[in-house]
Amino acid sequence: MSFTVTVCAAIFGGAAAAFVPRLAHRLAVPRGSRPRSTCADCTADLPTWVRAGASCDCARAPVWTLTTGALVGGVLGATIGPAPLLVVLLPAALLGILLALIDLRCLRLPDPLVGLLAVGTVLPLSAVALVTGEPADLMRSTLGAVLSGSVYLIIALLPGGGLGLGDVKLATVLGFTLGFVGWPAVVVGLVAPHLINGPVAVVLLLTRRAGRRTALPLGPALLTGALLGCLIT
Ligand SMILES: [Zn+2]
């Protein structure tokens, strides 16, 4: 483990995460709606996309978002070290935090952002595989994406599967990166989201904060599972 890389990655993660709340607030809108230009809570104007800290003057300081950004950056830096994979995964993780916040707010994973995550991971990881002379990595990544996407598509098609097509698309994109890391990462990425969301659903039911028919966002669990897959293996 490189101490310098870990600290730099944690600082990058925390600092970049400071810009996520405003973006998440503006982009967390129902399907087909334009991005928000006024605050959903106090109706104040949100004139810019770029703002560090709280999404609006009325919002609390985004301590959890910043902590998550620093923590995710730090553990990625500590686990991966100074490798091309870290350069790809750090911005991808920030995009993941943005997607998770939007999914938590409005149960959506906007296609343009999932597409951006796809471009930001598939292209550079493919380039790394080809430049380092490891085309097998590229083949495994592709198979990981196909396997992950297929499994989640089947779950989405099952009655009561509780999954949206946004979840299937995100799982497919994440499967590519997990495949690049290795087959154990793909397995963790497939299993962990359910181990995360299952207990969360039980707690919400027991505390009556959700009913049997309440839709729960799966995006945050998918992204956390993918992070665990990248770290554990
Ligand atoms: Zn406000």
Q: What is the DSSP string of 2-71?
A: -HHHHHHHHHHHHHHHTTHHHHHHHH---TTPPPPSB-TTT--B---S--SSSSSTTSPP-HHHHHHHHH
Q: How far is the CA of 192 from the centre of ligand 1 (A)?
A: 35
171: its two tokens: 């799982």
Distance between CA atoms of residues 216 and 136, nearest Å: 37
**Better-scored residue on pLDDT, 133 or 90:** 90
Percent of the chain with pLDDT over 70: 100
Q: How far is the CA of 117 from the centre of ligand 1 (A)?
A: 28
Q: How far is the CA of 102 from the centre of ligand 1 (A)?
A: 16
Residue-wise pLDDT for 33-72, tens only, equals: 999 999 999 999 998 999 999 999 999 999 999 999 999 9
Q: How far is the CA of 104 from the centre of ligand 1 (A)?
A: 18
Name the pLDDT band for 233 (thresholds 50, 70, 90).
low
For residue 200, how many other CB atoms are within 10 A of its CB? 14
Q: How far is the CA of 57 from the centre of ligand 1 (A)?
A: 6
Q: Backbone dihedral region of 81: left (phi > 0), alpha (psi from -120 to 50 degrees) or beta?
A: left
Q: How far is the CA of 155 from the centre of ligand 1 (A)?
A: 38
Residue-wise pLDDT for 105-126, tens only, equals: 999 999 999 999 999 999 999 9
HSE-CB at 62 with a 13 A cutoff on CA atoms is 27
**C-alpha closest to that of 167 among 216, 122, 117, 218:** 218
At residue 207, the pLDDT reads 86
Q: How far is the CA of 26 from the centre of ligand 1 (A)?
A: 11
